[in-house]
Amino acid sequence: MEKKVKIEIELSKDIYDLIKEFCGWSGFKFEDFVEFSIMHNLEVTMDFIGEIPTKKRREFLDRIAYIRGNL
């Protein structure tokens, strides 16, 4: 079983309401959507900054792939 960590974050009510409504409409579980969004954002941000040394970038991408495979 995958380990879970409970976190607490603050979001603007507008963002929270939008995500909640989207998840209700699309059928995503709120927590699954947030996890997916964070992982996707990591990949996109690494592409955007492009200054991560190749070895470290590969390590991050491998970890993302591993985590995605276990979600």
Return the C-alpha torsion angle 39, 44, 47, 48, nearest 10.
Answer: -130
Question: Which residues are CB-contacts of 46 (< 8 A; sequence separation ≥ 6)?
Answer: 52, 57, 60, 61
Q: What is the mean pLDDT of the chain?
A: 85
Of all residues in the chain, what percent carry a pLDDT higher than 70?
Answer: 92
Question: Is the pLDDT assigned to residue 4 strictly greater than 70?
Answer: yes
- C-alpha 60/C-alpha 43 separation (Å) is 9
Residue 40 in any domain: the answer is yes
Question: Is the pLDDT assigned to residue 71 strictly greater than 70?
Answer: no
Report, as an integer, the average pLDDT of 45-50: 74
DSSP element (H, E) containing 15 = helix 13-26
Residue 14 in any domain: the answer is no
> How many structural domains are present in the chain?
1
Residue 15 in any domain: the answer is no
